[in-house]
Amino acid sequence: MDSFEQEGNGAALESLPPPPPVPPDVVPIKAESDAKKIVRHPMARRGVGTKGQKVTILTNHFKVSVGSTDGHFYHYSVSLSYEDGRPVDGKGVGRKVIDRVHETYKNDLDGKNFAYDGEKSLFTIGPLPNNKLEFTVVLEDVAPTRNNGNASPDGQDSPNGRERKRLRRPYHSKTFKVEISYAAKIPMQAIQNALRGQESENSQEALRVLDIILRQHAAKQGCLLVRQSFFQDNQNNFTDIGGGVLGCRGFHSSFRATQGGLSLNIDVSTTMIIQPGPVVDFLLANQNARDPYSLDWNKAKRVLKNLRIKVSPSNQEYKITGLSEQLCKDQLFSMKQKNTKNENGEAETLEITIYDYFVNHRNIQLRYSADLPCINVGKPKRPTYIPIELCSLVSLQRYTKALSTFQRASLVEKSRQKPQERMNVLSNVLRTSNYGAEPMLKSCGVNINSNFTQVDGRILPAPRLRVGNGEDFFPRNGRWNFNNKKLVEPSRIERWAVVNFSAPRCDPNNIARDLIRCGEMKGIRIDPPFDIFNEMNQNRRLSPVVRVEKMFEQIQSKLPGAPQFLLCLLPDRKNSDLYGPWKRKNLSEYGIVTQCMAPARVNDQYLTNLLLKINAKLGGLNSMLTIEQTPSIPMISKVPTIILGMDVSHGSPGQSDVPSIAAVVSSRQWPLISRYRASVRTQSPKLEMVDSLFKPVSDKVDEGIMREALLDFYTSSGKRKPDQIIIFRDGVSESQFNQVLNKELDQVIEACKFLDENWNPKFVVIVAQKNHHTKFFQQGSPDNVLPGTVIDNKVCHPKNNDFYLCAHAGMIGTTRPTHYHVLLDQVGFSADDLQELVHSLSYVYQRSTTAISVVAPICYAHLAASQLGQFMKFEDASETSSSHGGVTAPGAISVPQLPRLKDNVSSSMFFC
């Protein structure tokens, strides 16, 4: 295929001097030829779609006009240090220091305004007087808030008063040295270029400067800044999600270059913060404890470290460094006696407890602190202790640990907003943020329109679906049901059993009986189960892995051979510890298809949904697109085509050493696009690119994911190789598009060449993004946009080939459209055909009877990654760290490998 074979740049080589001679003892290294290596860039849009019913849509982009475009932004790098030359590392100090520089040296700076990012970059409009400027400023109080009260709990004679005495002056005023040196200049014209689709380093930077101006504007109003979002300290925006954590509602704002010009995208966003107020109240909520005396102080120490507190009565602010070893009434420190001196004339010291000091020397009443540890705000070697009831957590401190299932559910539920409510909130924030008064925006001539931008949308018709008995129908409003319908390809269940780990209050006999009855209505013939295995009481206290082992011993002693299917009843709660070990045992040791359920309310609707999953896992199909059977999918039914969904999932924030999990699902049995299989691998933590698509371990053996997918496609599609490979990639940002197009796609091409040197399939690469802030609203209706709404104009990229699609019916909150970026299309789809394919792929998800918000292959990749990720949770590190056949680079951490699935389930939809 000639596009892979483009020539090198053909530079003239004649004029170069001859190369130096090679020393005799050097063994030449074979250079890889780069002549054929071309760098791919995201493709330009070829046209817009026309199909579907036209509709006017509003979006949360606000039009921005830029008055002056002939000036330059000047970029300066900022270096902050203390008097003694130590660099400043504290967060939040930078802005105060730079503000002070701005106030103090206005005249030396030609009265210029700054846009400062809080760290190392500062921008001005036009140049400062010199390329390098140095200033010295003094800040009176480096603690983040001014000190009002005069009696500080650790003043002159407090615990560690001596150290305080020495540090008193430097603590209450610190001197900073500031260096500002020229780094680059960015023409404002670059903004106009970006709007013409001429993306360059400069245009990205110019938009970044505008974003920094907005961030600084928010910082000046005391907001918490999290990337492009800001959060105000306002009780009305807080909502309790349990465990001492609050959801805090704020706003995202960013400038974007679009087809319609420059726009400001504003959206509601949410972050998690620590519940402000008394430290003890937070700890009680965090540990769900009855009273302060039943707290786990080791846990408390971990969760409190580095949080900021205010101490009463002084109102001074500190950072928590730890807890006292002993209780307040037992923790001693040496207090100097003012009036008694020893024979050397030095003040005598008295050993006294923290409790005694605060109650008797400071006359501060302590109700409950005596029997609790104190908070330490000093250095490890020189602690400063404060009784816990005098400490209150400061507001707007981010909570960055992973949320529990219940916290997450509560956050989702409480941060939902109906479209109309969201529009009102956004209009308000634009009014009250007063961007018109921001001096730097003024000097760029930036003006922000307060109306939602209008765009032209189209509503694509739902695809026709086929179910059992040759019946076709059209889903309505993105939904359908199987009432009075049979599944299109029902499976037959003959050898199966029920495994009951659950509480005795659910009757497995009834569940088995009802499942057989519901199966019959859907066309699935289910024989009576061989047996029902109830867990023995004495096993319930064992570890999850051992409980699963014991259960399998029971099953093996009773069943004549491996069952086709096991239904597993788990104890009634989400995220049962048994789930990972159970799935692992079934899929990777025995090759048994299994379905878990945690019965709460079991009715026919629940069992029907369960049967959809069971049927898909056992090789059946619930429904499919009619055009798959007729084969008439444009561009796909005529030429063997494989569809891939790729995703990488990472550990929760705070779990930096958990391997990332890459999942690739691939279609099989062409011309179908409803059946998939999955390959899953672990890779280095936080690595975003899939690194095991092609893994040659010798000249003949490739252990990569692509080989598995391609061979399965070949055997399941009548010995045909795919001539077209369509890749849907999830979870990458725009800055990573080039890596997807060059690194990942190169691996896929190499895997193809490894199988057959002469095979040149055509590629389509599409990235799907859900993590963005563009929302759409129906004009004149309080409801969400209709399923099938597609937008490929005005708020899309000025040049690149992207579109937004809301395939699903948003039932609650405001619909989040999926943003599809077509990075490469060698097949030559028309805009309509490609949008229709993506829309259709939102209707082939076998687990539900609704259109889903992102194409099914990507959803399946999520499912496969999270299911096999559960395998890892109960691993014994020693048995998993063998690097599976691959070579571990010296010094690299070897990543534990997932156990391989048994052949008979590896090509099934086990993840369904």
Average pLDDT for consecutive 10-residue bins of the chain (912 residues)? 39 50 60 65 92 95 85 91 83 86 88 89 91 89 41 43 38 81 90 79 86 89 89 91 93 91 92 94 92 90 92 89 89 78 73 86 86 88 89 93 88 89 91 85 88 94 91 91 90 92 79 92 92 87 89 88 90 78 90 88 88 94 90 88 93 75 94 93 89 89 91 94 95 91 94 92 96 92 92 92 92 91 95 95 94 95 90 53 39 72 87 89
CA distances in angstroms from 886 to 156, 691, 896, listed in the order given? 63, 11, 12
Residue 885 has a pLDDT of 38
Residue range 49-63+224-270+411-459+775-816 forms a domain whose CATH class is alpha beta
Measure the CA–CA gap between 369 and 598, rounded to whole angstroms.
Answer: 44
CA atoms within 13 A on the CB side of 636: 29
For residues 107-127, b (16+ Cβ closer than 10 Å) or e, as one string? Answer: eebeebbbbbbbeebbbbbee
Which neighbouring-strand residues pair with 417? Answer: none
Q: Residue 699: left if φ>0, alpha if ψ -120 to 50, beta else—which one?
A: alpha
Give residue limits of the domains in the chain: 49-63+224-270+411-459+775-816, 68-141+172-221, 277-394, 490-620, 635-769+824-874
- Geometric angle at alpha carbon 496, from 495 and 500, rounded to 5°: 160
Measure the CA–CA gap between 359 and 412, rounded to whole angstroms.
Answer: 45
Amino acid type, 333: F
Residue 32 has a pLDDT of 52
Nearest one of 74, 151, 150 to 114, comparing CA atoms: 74
Coil, helix or strand at residue 767:
strand
What is the DSSP-derived secondary structure letter of residue 635? T
Question: Token pair 């006696």 is at which residue?
Answer: 337
User: With contact defined as beta carbons under 8 Å apart, do 639 and 762 qualify?
Assistant: no
Nearest one of 855, 846, 908, 864 to 612, comparing CA atoms: 846
Question: Token pair 């008995």 is at which residue?
Answer: 469
Measure the CA–CA gap between 825 and 476, rounded to whole angstroms.
Answer: 31
Record the pTM.
Answer: 0.86
Domain 277-394 carries which CATH code?
Answer: 2.170.260.10
Residue 264 has a pLDDT of 93
**φ and ψ at residue 174, rounded to 5 degrees:** -125, 145
Q: Residue 261: left if φ>0, alpha if ψ -120 to 50, beta else—which one?
A: left
User: With contact defined as beta carbons under 8 Å apart, do 269 and 229 qualify?
Assistant: yes
Residue range 490-620 forms a domain whose CATH class is alpha beta
For residues 524-548, b (16+ Cβ closer than 10 Å) or e, as one string? Answer: bebeebbebbebeeeeeeeebbebb
> What six digits make up the tokens of 698?
């010798």
Measure the CA–CA gap between 303 and 399, rounded to whole angstroms.
Answer: 9
Domain 635-769+824-874 carries which CATH code?
Answer: 3.30.420.10
Nearest one of 95, 317, 112, 393 to 222, comparing CA atoms: 95
CA distances in angstroms from 153 to 149, 324, 625, 705, listed in the order given? 10, 16, 72, 62
| Cβ-Cβ contacts under 8 Å for 891 (sequence gap 6 or more) | none
If one counts every other C-beta atom within 10 angstroms of the C-beta of residue 870, the result is 17
